[in-house]
Amino acid sequence: MQRWEKIYIVFMVVGMISLLLTAGMPRPCSAVVTEEQMKNWPVPCYQGEELQKVREWEKTWVGKKINQDNIDQVKEFLSDQFYEVFKNPQDWGATELFFSIVPYQQVSYTPGVMEATRKYAPTAKLDPNPRKAYWKGEVLPNEFLVGWDKAEGAGIPFPFPQSGVEIAWNMESSNQYGDTRSVHRDGVVVNPRTKAERRAIQPWIHDYYTRRCDFPPMPNKPDNAKGLRRAMFLEIVEPLDVKDTRYMELRYLDVTKPEDVWIWFPLFRRIRRMGVVYKSDTIDGTDLGPDDEMGWNGHTNVKNWNIVGRKEMLVGRHEDTTKYTKEKGQAVWNGYQMERLNTYVVECKWKDPNASYSKEVLYFDPELWRALQKVTWDRQGRVWRQFFYHREMLKTKDPNVVISHCFELYSMDLQRRHGSPTMDKMKEAGKNIDNSFWTIQNLQKLGF
């Protein structure tokens, strides 16, 4: 046999073996949802033997008060940053910081989200083609949700995600907390070293134009000529030195269009258009920036998302805020009610190397695909901020549905050592807001 013939045979054999080995390997694209999976969806975080083990553990811990004296016994269920804060309450203006443990309860989706997910999830997929975007790094292959820019689909696109970007799309796509909602935000910015507090009152509105599931119009608002995904309005009532400042943000479905941010400054009686980078700055002296709300408040593909593992965590999903307490100068609430949950740990990094954070780690609820906690690192690689996104279950009117409301967007600067304990009380969910509200002319009118 000629030498070249032997080489050819070797290449053919190696090629066939490679095809056989890779045929069953997961590909870097969207997960395929089967009919059988959807029959058994939604899936609780714990079931069978796993649930029994959790219930056995709860027999020891449910109802117990956890403070600096016994927190080491549950340290394995906490992030390092959360543990350090509650282990050292004197650093945060308190003689004692404590929380209690409550039983795990499955959180269900609203009927609208369940119906939309069963309808659209089987055909949801990521686009294998790259596309242009306004940010550095653009959108790479298998990153963009097909149909997103055309306002197609609703519900949870990837009920059984296999990648970090699929989890991120679940977070961005689902509106299982009211479609449109108005909230009264009341909190303080605390410096625990001086005991100084600065009150902040900021009522705000979120209005989703697409993927609406429970409140009409569904699934999309009509007359959306601008191609909006979401509109947001915020007014500053306190502190008095910036009273009546108003903020309006419009996010588009088109990834080539950056968000429009407009601010009415009462001192100058003028509207100023802000660049999208403004969203990475903090609001009114707090440690919370517009981009940090809900875990992430921007286009999904601005960052790279990677699952780094699972972690059993104590997180706040069924909180009773009437049990919260805080002394003056204390930078963290006492009285959290934390339940055990097997979270997804997702690490994300901005594609732009000059972004505010060099790295973020988010702990995701595997039942709702919402971030429950987040930790961020600065450009020098040092731990910088910590966020809690604690939730309560609220019943709405017309239709009567139970939604998981994120009432606490707690932010904490771990370097400068101050925090912003805040309460977001739901005022109304599902109100149909006319498109004329989301105009520069109306923002100016509200200012006058």
Q: pLDDT 10s per residue in the chain (448 long)?
A: 444 444 444 444 444 444 333 333 334 455 578 888 898 899 999 999 999 999 999 999 999 999 999 999 999 999 999 999 999 999 999 999 999 999 999 998 999 999 999 999 999 999 999 999 999 999 999 999 999 999 999 999 999 999 999 999 999 987 667 799 999 999 999 999 999 999 999 999 999 999 999 999 999 999 999 999 999 999 999 888 889 999 999 999 999 999 999 999 988 889 998 877 777 666 555 566 778 888 898 999 999 999 999 999 999 999 999 999 999 999 999 999 999 999 999 999 999 988 889 999 999 999 999 999 999 999 999 999 999 999 999 988 878 889 999 998 889 999 999 999 999 999 999 889 999 999 999 999 988 7
Sign of CA dihedral 254, 258, 259, 260: negative
pLDDT for 10:
40
pLDDT for 439:
95
Enumerate long-range contacts of 404-408, CB under 8 Å, 24 or more apart: 404/107, 404/176, 404/177, 404/317, 404/368, 404/370, 405/177, 405/178, 405/181, 406/177, 406/294, 406/370, 407/319, 407/321, 408/316, 408/319, 408/333
pLDDT for 274:
86
H helices present in 333-413, as ranges: none
pLDDT for 448:
75
pLDDT for 11:
42
pLDDT for 285:
54
Q: How far apart are CA 337 and CA 102, in angstroms?
A: 6
- CATH class of the structural domain 54-108+163-447: mainly beta
Q: How far apart are CA 210 and CA 213, in angstroms?
A: 9
| Angle in degrees, CA 359, 365, 368, rounded to 5 | 125
Structure tokens at 192: 């625990």
CB 368 within 8 A of CB 107: yes
> What are the φ and ψ backbone dihedral angles of 81, each rounded to 5 degrees?
-70, -45
Q: Between the CA of residue 118 and those of 95, 131, 173, what are the distances in Å?
A: 50, 28, 14
Structure tokens at 272: 């100023």
pLDDT for 397:
82
pTM of the model: 0.90
pLDDT for 242:
87
